[in-house]
Each structure stands twice: as structure tokens, then as C-alpha cells.
Structure 1
Amino acid sequence: MKDRTQALPPDVAEALGAPQRIAALEAAVPVFPGPDPDFDDIAALASALFAAPIALVTVLGRVDQWFFARQGTSDIRAPSDASFCARMIAGPAGSPLIVRDARNDVRFAGLPTVTGAPHLRFYAGAPIMIDGQAIGTVCVFDVEPHETVASDAAARLARLASLAGSVFKLKEETRRRTLAAEASSREERRHAMALDAANVASWVWDLKTGFVSGNETFYRMLGIAPARPMRARTFFKAVHSANRKATVERLREALAGGQEYDEVFRARQSGRWLLGRGRVHERDAEGRPTLFVGVNVDVTDAQLASERTRLLLRELNHRVKNTLAMLQSLARQTLRQTSDPVEFMDAFAGRLQSLSDAHALLSDHEWGVIHLNMLLQKQLVPYTLDYESQVEIHKDEVELGPDQAVGLGLVLHELATNARKYGALSVRSGKVVITARVVLEEGQRVLNMTWHEVGGPPVSPPSHRGFGSILIERSLDKVLGSSVHVEYLPQGVTALVRMPL
């Protein structure tokens, strides 16, 4: 596009394109929104002041002059190179200009609007000054020349231009505040969504009013409804009584010493464990805290996991002590039965492995309960030639606790070891049939399990009770009411286990 300011006199073009003026214009009026009714009264007053039919409130760009208010014309812009106002701002800074008859003024006589329609004759304009720069004008036109003009008319027109400048500043300030408020609102919404997505509660304690308020997550975590500001005392009461004193003390320390508040507490209503953090955000002129800002994070899962870990460690400590005592007993009793170191190591290692297998299963299940089927498979597979064909199981769904699993594991190990050496598991045609049923005895669930060997070599009762037999009978001593009875029948060993669950 051709730069139309080239048709302007050099001094006018220089004034119109001055960088300082353009910067002030762009700061005050970033975009032209179209005619603005807020300026209509200024245009009307200017028209009345000079009894002129055309009045404008304008801003001057490099190329176009835009009309924010207009009276007596439907146009909303005009080219700057044909503008009275562009020539006016090139004059003395901030001074209004009155042209009684444009045909007699060399500066304006050749303008298209003077030589042609609408044949303008009279002009009066005053610059709108922003930060010392003329960004536009309040001006009036008439198609008739004005022979006389009131002596104070120019000054009053200048005041109207000053008023227009103030309106421009106010509107731009309002626009900036609106944009800032919208940006702040978007940021607040973004923060709120982020806090909600992260399940973080935010809250503010106004120490001047004594009220605590927060987001929806804050009230939900505390189990308080409806969600509305509450007195600090009510907030403290929302903390579980077991944690209330420590929580209040931590808050007081943060208020008094300016340190960070950091405390884990349990909500009285919801029962959730919350990590609270915060600090003083504002103080008054005397340094006294006036606003405390904090967040709460739900750490219930972590707290329960920590508690579960502590319980597991206590259980593990208990089990380790019991296991060490059992190992000592196993070592002594095994050593008594044989003086052959190789035989001792073989027997003791097998029993040690049995304990290890039972412990591994329990550890995998966090020392809770394990299924009987898992224990059977773990203890019997090493001693079978073909587990699927040599072990037949008929059972109910049975869950075993730690003492039951360790004791029964040793029983199964001794039975399987004996069956592998001398009984049904020593030949491929042999089989172990296990039946495990749960019955109610006086309201107590009791496991009745039968171990029966078939298809193996003929069985003869042992000439004396070895440690294996003693271990089978004693392995369930820690389970009150339990018993193990072994019979050496000719067709195969049979063991009867009774164990309360």
C-alpha cells in the first residue's frame, strides 16, 4: 500500500509519524473498536460550543484518522493526508486551532474536502494529549465560514479535548485491569483445576476476622458440609482429638516465629490422614500476622502403608526370633539322631529349606495368609518324580496364618522326605492322596487333613521313634488345639492332621 502521508507537508508528516507520538497512541488506543458512545457527549458539547453541524472525537494514525464520536456525518474514518487535524498537531504543542474560512488559509485551501464536497469552510480543533503527545483531536466543522468566534471558545474546546484524553486513559486503564483480572481469573482457575486434579486442599486463615476458608477439596477432606467459611475454632475441632493439641501448637509456632507449618493430622469427621503445610503470607505495619495460607494433602494411603510396614516389621521381628529358636531346636534334635556330619547336613538342610519356603510364601503375602494349595505345592514338588501324577488333592479353600503355615510346612516336609526315601514317592507308580476339609466345631473352623500314601513299597512300622516322627508331632505346637497322628499301615503311611484355623 502506498504511504499516503507522502502527500503531507514534511513538517506535518514528521509530526504525524513521530515515534513518541505513535507509542503514546498505541499505548492509549491499542485497537480501534469503532465509534464509542462514551465520547458522544463530548462531540455534542463541541458542536454546541461553536454552533457547528459537524463534530468529531478522533485519533490520528499514520494513514487514517478514526472517529470515536461523530455528529453530522456517518463516516468513521478519513485519510490522514486530507486531514485538517493532521496539520493542526504539527503546530504549537497542545494548542487549539481555529480556521474561520479554509478557502483563505493556504494550509487548507487545497484539501479535497474544501475544494469538493462537502466544501468545508470552518474548522476548530484541539489536540487530545496523552503523556505529552497529541494522539487525536476534538474538532468541529461547518460548510459556512464563521466570521466571529467567542473569545473563550478555544479554551473551552481545549478543556473538552482534555476531558476526552482523561476518558481515553480511564478506558485503557479499565481495559488493562479487565485483562489483568481475566488473566488472574484464568490463573486462579488453572491453579484450582491443578489443585483439584492433584487432590490438594488450599485454605486461607484471615487472622483479622478469625475465619478460615478453602476450596471444595479442603472441606471434603475434613468431612465438613456445607462448604463455607468457618471460625478458626471450628477448624481446630475438625482435627481428630488425638492430633488436635500438636496441630494447634505447630500453627502457633508458625505464627509466632515466622517458620513453616508442617504437621500430619487426622480429620475427625472423614477419618482421613492429612499433611498440612503453610506459612504467614501477610503482616500488618507492626509485623503482626494477618493472613495465613496453607495446603492439605491426603496422605492416608501413605500413613496406612507406614503403619502396615511397622506392623510387618514387628511381625518379622517376632518371626525371626521364633525361627531362630526353632532352628536351634532343629539343629540339636537332628544332631542327636546322627553322628554322621554328611547325614546331619542333609537332614538339617532339608528342614531349613522347608522353613525358608514357608517364610518366602508368607513374605510374598506380607505375613498375612497363604492358601493351602500353594504350601502343598511348595513343599512337595522337590520330592516328587511327577507332581501332577503323584499328588492327588481334594480340598476346600483353606487360608493359613503364619504359625499354621510354618508348622504345617515342616509336617509336610517330613512326610514328603520320608515318602521320597521309603514310601510312595520313591517309585513312579506311587501316589500321595491328600484330603483337606474345613468343619465347624463349636463355632470354630477346624482343618481336618489326611495324608495317605498308595502304590508304594510295603510299609513296616519303624523300630523306634526318630526325630522326624517327633518333629511331625511337635511342629504344630504353636497352634493351640492342633494334633498330628501318623500310622504306618502296610499299604502306605497315613497321617491325620487336625488344626484350628
Structure 2
Amino acid sequence: MKDNVQPLPSDVAAVLGAPDRLAALDAALPVFLGPDPDFDDIAALAAGLFSVPISLVTILGRTDQWFLARQGTPEIRAPSEDSFCARMIAGGEPLVITDAREDGRSAGLPSVTGEPHLRFYAGAPIVIGGQAVGTVCAFDVKPHSPVTSDLLPRLKQLASLAASLILLKDEARRRALAAEALSREEKRHALALDAANVASWLWDISTGIVSGNETFYRMLGVQPAKPMSARRFFTAVHPADRKTTIGRLREALASGKEYDGLFRTAKSGRWLLGRGRVHEWDADGRPSVFLGINVDVTDGQLASERTRLLLRELNHRVKNTLAMLQSLARQTLRQTSDPVEFMDAFAGRLQSLSEAHGLLSDHEWGVIHLKMLLQKQIMPYAIDYEKQVEIHKDEVELGPDQAVGLGLVLHELATNARKYGSLSVRSGKVVITARVLNEEGQRVLNMTWHEVGGPLVDPKGRRGFGSVLIERSLDKILGSSVHVEYLPKGVTAVIRMPL
């Protein structure tokens, strides 16, 4: 049957494939989802208009004609090239064929030469945006007499009604898509705010009601989480910050500029950063809606305060250290006139202070463990630290003054041991014992330094500045003391220091 089909006229093919027509069709009905019951009444009216058993409301694509509504046929599509409607829209006007076998435009169509052997056709184009995108048409399997002049205008009205319905449904589809996209965006925005722990709120100035997201109520400690009066909103601000916060909000309302404020909450005392501006004005130009956000910046505020404390502590330590350095330099110079010897001695003591300061800086000028200080001060002077240094100690934490003073003591003991004592030979060893005792409610560190296995010590040897420094390094710590004994078998130092 297909072999006997007449070729598709070039003008019809051109109309079917016209880019403007296909673009209008795609814009109005981008996807065919099957027959739509909303168009059934139009198909029924078309069938009744011509008293025929078959009627269609169609959209006409390049290759397929889809049926939005149909009466008298179970089909939902047909090839565009084999349709009466493709010939009709090529002519640009409604078309009536009273006997398809006798009309050259339709005589060779498969639906005429084969089942269902159509004979009568009447169709009008559905025009959208100046382009024929579909048809309302009626068929019969027997020829008809010429139709009366009033029928085609009425068929055109049905086609116009179909076009309006397509546009209305397209507008509804677009609105639904826009609403869905807006809903998705609002959900995404809400999730993003929640994930970022950002509170958003809206103040309806005309009603005096403030509402916000869950994070907003949680930050303020307001339960249950529901809209509240502006008065209650302001009472959720810490009393110390309330006047300033209200003042800045009033200034933003009066000027239209952005509100920017930092305040604490009344319940938890957490710090919140507030930002916002007038979002809407009434007909008289007065603010009617204010939109704002809050961000919890408590951690940042605490970190900032901690930084300020650290800077004050550092300033104090720098002053103390400079005074100590001046004293060390003067005392070292008094002990030697040799520049090289002075530099060696002074550089070592300076390095000791640097090590103690480095440890304290790493721990934000809090406390450091005795084990770390021992390792820093002694390891550079031991031939084999693991074998030559034996430590028995309690868990001891040292404050800044204690760490700096004890660091100098350990440095002098270690350098002395390296030059003259047990750390000068591989067989030598330093045994350190550190215990914490409770003396009348005060925790006190009792520590001994005992050298064994080194060269014999001459108890009559010259008492140098190092010995003086050892005994005076803890002078700034009330109740502390250092006693050094130069025993023949090795130096022993006994250290007492309140913690």
C-alpha cells in the first residue's frame, strides 16, 4: 500500500519542516503526554458539527501527527506525511474535501486507499504565534454533499478555542514549573542557611511581628519556635547590648541603609552578628518590612579575646625577658673579658630562653609539660640522650614563669655537665627525679639532678656565674629554691618550686 502513496508535495514538506512553525509548536507544547481529556469536548463538537463518526484535535510535528483528543478511532498518532491535515495547513486556510477519492490532494493517501477508507474531511488549523501547529478536523467514511457556508467559520472557532486551551495549559505548566523551581530554591536556600548556621528573620513593622527560620529561634533561645512580637524579640537581646542594638536598627529604618550590629543573647550569652535592611516600603514611603540575618560568632569573639589576652601576656613576657637578657649579659661580661667566650656563654643562655619561649608560644602561653622542657634543654648537650638521661617523674605542668626560670636552671646544669661533668663522657649519666608533694594545701615540685659516671669533681673549683645563675634563676617564683652540691662523684642539685 505504501508503494502506491503519492509523493509528499514540496510545499507541504516545506510547511511541515518550517523552523518558525516547529519553534512555535515546541514552545506551546514541548512534550506530548498522550490524549488530554480537556480537549475531548472540542473533538465531540467538531464531530457533531458535520454529523460524522470521526473527529480529532491534533498537533502536527515534522514526522508525526499526535492526537490530543479523538473520537471514533483508538489511534493516538499517524504519520504527518500521510495526513489530510498536512495538506490543509500548507494551504493556510480551513479545508473541506467532500470525496477524498476524487480530490488529487488526497486520493493516494493510505487512509483513503486502505482502511478505514476515508471519504470526507473537514479541518481548520490551530494557530499559535502566527504558526499552524495543529488542527481540529472531522472525517467520514462516506462522501458528503458540499457543506453550508456557516460550518467552516464554526470549525475555525473550535480551532481557536483549542489554541486558547493549549496556551492556557502551557501558561499553567510554566507557572507550575516556576513554582516548583521557586520551591526548590527556597528549600535549597533554607537548607544552606541551616547548614551554615545562619538565622534569617523578617520584621513586619506594620503588625510588629517578627518571624524567622528554626535557627533564628534556636539562637535566641525562644521556645516555642513561632512568630513573636518585636518587643519580645528585643528582650531576647542581652540587656547590656539592647540599647545599642535598638539604636542601630532605628538608624537603619530611618536612613534605609544596612543594619550592622553585634550583640549577645539574653539567655545563653552567645555572640550574634546581625545584618539587615528595609525590604519594603508602604505607599507613604515608610518602612513596612525589615529583613535580616544573624550569624553566631561566639567562637570568633572568644578567639579574639584570647588573642588580646595572649598579646597582653606576650607584652608582659617580652618586658620580663628583656630585663632578664640585660641581667644575663651584664653578669656574663663580668665573668669573662674574652669576646668569644662571652658569645658562647651568652648565646647558650639566650637559646635556653628561646626554647622555653617557643614551647610556651606553641601552647598559647598556657602550661607545658616538664618532660618537654627537660628534653628541649638537655638533649643538645647529651652524647646519647636516651642512654645518658634517666627521668623519674610525676605528671607536672609548668606555667610561663616556672618554665622560663626552670629552663635556665636546666640549661646551666646541662652545659656544666657537658663541659666538666657526666655528659662529657659516654659512660656518664644524669638521673632526674621530679615529684609533686602537697605542702599545707600547696602543690610543690621537688626535683633532684644527680650526675653519675663522669669525671671526678673538684669541690674547690671556682664558683662561676653559672652556679650563681642556677641558684638565682627561680628568684621570681616566691617560695622556690635551688641548692647545688659539687660532690666528688658528681654534681647534685635540689630544686624546690611551688606550682
Query: How many angstroms does 1:262 deviate by?
Result: 3.9
Which residue is 1:481 aligned to? 479
Q: What is the aligned partner in structure 2 of residue 412 from structure 1? A: 410
Paired position in structure 2 for 1:402: 400
CA contact (8 A) 1:212 1:229 kept: yes
Which residue of the partner structure matches residue 70 of structure 1? 70
For the residues of structure 2 that align with 1:101 and 1:59, how far apart are their CA atoms? 24
- Shift of residue 448, structure 1, vs aligned partner: 0.9
Alpha-carbon distance in structure 1 between the residues aligned to 2:361 and 2:401 = 13
CA change 1:462–1:321 in 2 (3 A) is farther
Q: Is the 8 A contact 1:391 1:432 kept in 2?
A: yes
Whether 1:40 and 2:44 are equivalent positions in the alignment is: no
Name the structure 1 match of 2:54: 54
Partner of 1:375: 373
Relative distance call for 1:133 and 1:391 in structure 2 (3 A) is: closer
Equivalent AA in structure 2 for residue 369 of structure 1? V
Taking a change above 3 Å as real, the CA distance of residues 182 and 5 of structure 1, as seen in their structure-2 partners, is farther
Cα offset for 1:380? 2.6
Distance in 2, Cα, partners of 1:406 & 1:337: 23
Superposed displacement of residue 138, structure 1: 1.9
Aligned residue in 1 for 2:130: 132
Q: Distance in 2 between matches of 1:405 and 1:155?
A: 104
User: Which residue of 321, 324, 329 corresponds with 1:323?
Assistant: 321
**Could you tell me which residue of structure 2 aligns to residue 390 of structure 1?**
388
Change (3 A) 1:108 1:377: closer
Residue type of the alignment partner of 1:159: Q
Give the corresponding residue for 2:351: 353
| 1:254 Cα deviation from its structure 2 partner | 3.9
8 A contact 1:238–1:268 mirrored in 2? yes
Q: Is the 8 A contact 1:5 1:81 kept in 2?
A: no
TM-score between both structures, scaled by the size of structure 2: 0.84
Residue 66 of structure 1 deviates from its aligned partner by 2.1
Residues 75 and 455 (structure 1), Cα distance of their counterparts in 2 relative to 1, 3 Å cut: closer
Aligned length: 498
Q: Distance in 2 between matches of 1:241 and 1:358?
A: 44
Cα deviation 1:110-129 (Å, max 9, x = unaligned): 65544554344444333222
1:358-398 CA-to-partner distances (Å, cap 9, x unmatched) read: 22222232212112122223223344444344332211111
Counterparts of 1:131-150 in structure 2, within 5 Å, are 131-147=129-145
* CA separation of 1:5 and 1:17: change in aligned 2, threshold 3 A: farther
Provide the rounded CA distance (Å) in 2 between the counterparts of 1:106 and 1:380.
Answer: 113
Partner SS state of residue 7, structure 1: coil
Residue correspondence of structure 1 range 271-290 to structure 2 within 5 A: 272-283=270-281, 287-290=285-288
Which shows bigger deviation, 17-26 or 61-70?
Answer: 17-26
8 A contact 1:58–1:137 mirrored in 2: yes
Deviation at 1:199, TM superposition (A): 4.7
Question: Which residue is equivalent to 1:434?
Answer: 432
Please name the residue that 1:178 is paired with: 176
Report the CA distance between 1:198 and its aligned residue.
Answer: 4.7
1:156 to 143, 154, 158: 154
Residue 65 of structure 2: SS of its match in structure 1? strand
Shift of the alpha carbon at 1:265? Answer: 4.1
- State the SS of the aligned residue for 2:413: helix
Q: What is the identity, as a one-letter code, of the residue corresponding to 2:50? A: F
Cα separation, partners in 2 of 1:447 and 1:140, compared to 1, 3 Å: same
Partner of 1:496: 494
RMSD over aligned Cα atoms: 3.7
Percent of matched pairs sharing the same residue = 79
Q: For 2:325, what is the secondary structure of its paired residue? A: helix
- Could you tell me how far apart the structure 2 residues matched to 1:134 and 1:493 are? 111
Question: What does 1:64-463 correspond to in 2, within 5 Å?
Answer: 64-91=64-91, 93=93, 96-99=94-97, 102=100, 108=106, 111-114=109-112, 116-147=114-145, 152-207=150-205, 210-224=208-222, 227-269=225-267, 272-283=270-281, 287-337=285-335, 344-459=342-457
Please report how far the alpha carbon of residue 109 of structure 1 lies from its aligned counterpart in structure 2 after TM superposition. 5.6
Cα displacement (A) at 1:154: 3.6
Q: Which moved more, 1:315-324 or 1:279-288?
A: 279-288
**Structure 2: tracts of 5 or more residues without a match:** none
Q: 1:30: which partner in 2?
A: 30
Q: Distance in 2 between matches of 1:456 and 1:90?
A: 116
C-alpha contact 1:55 1:71 (8 A) present in aligned 2:
yes
What do residues 384-440 of structure 1 show as CA deviations (whole Å, max 9, x unaligned)?
Answer: 444344332211111111100111122223333444455444555443322110112
**Residue-by-residue CA offset, 1:45-96 (whole Å, 9 max, x unaligned):** 2333333322211222333332111111112223444433334334464xx4
Partner Cα separation in structure 1 for residue 492 and residue 20 of structure 2: 108
